[in-house]
Amino acid sequence: MITLTIILLQSGGAGLINLVFIAAMFLIFWLFLIRPQAKKQKEQKAFMESIEKGDEVATTSGILGRVNKIEDEIITLEVANKTYIRVAKSAISKEMTEQVYASNDQDKK
């Protein structure tokens, strides 16, 4: 009778350890993958909403230009003197814009 109780307690403990291990894996997954990605998406959305006429931006494909006109989800960029292209608002990249124009600011100093 005592040995049967000990065996049941030992097998229940192993299941609890496995459950804790799985919960720890989910916590690590959330901390290192889901949370940072959600933060990036939130920053990108705030950046897209703050774009105004005259801002210098970069698209995800690397096109650089100055915002000339904003129409709902379409942005018209001036890429050269009197040369305009229309791009989707979602094509404007916060990371690329910061990377390109931060390096330009450092070059000017």
The answer to whether 79 and 65 are in contact (CB under 8 A) is yes
* pLDDT score recorded for residue 8: 46
Residues 4 and 33 in one domain: yes
Question: Does position 100 have pLDDT exceeding 50, yes or no?
Answer: yes
**Structural domain for 34, as ranges:** 1-50
Mean pLDDT for all residues in the chain: 84
β-sheet bridge partners, residue 77? 67, 85
* pLDDT score recorded for residue 4: 41
- Tokens 């916590």 — which residue? 27
Residues 71 and 21 in one domain: no
* pLDDT score recorded for residue 75: 95
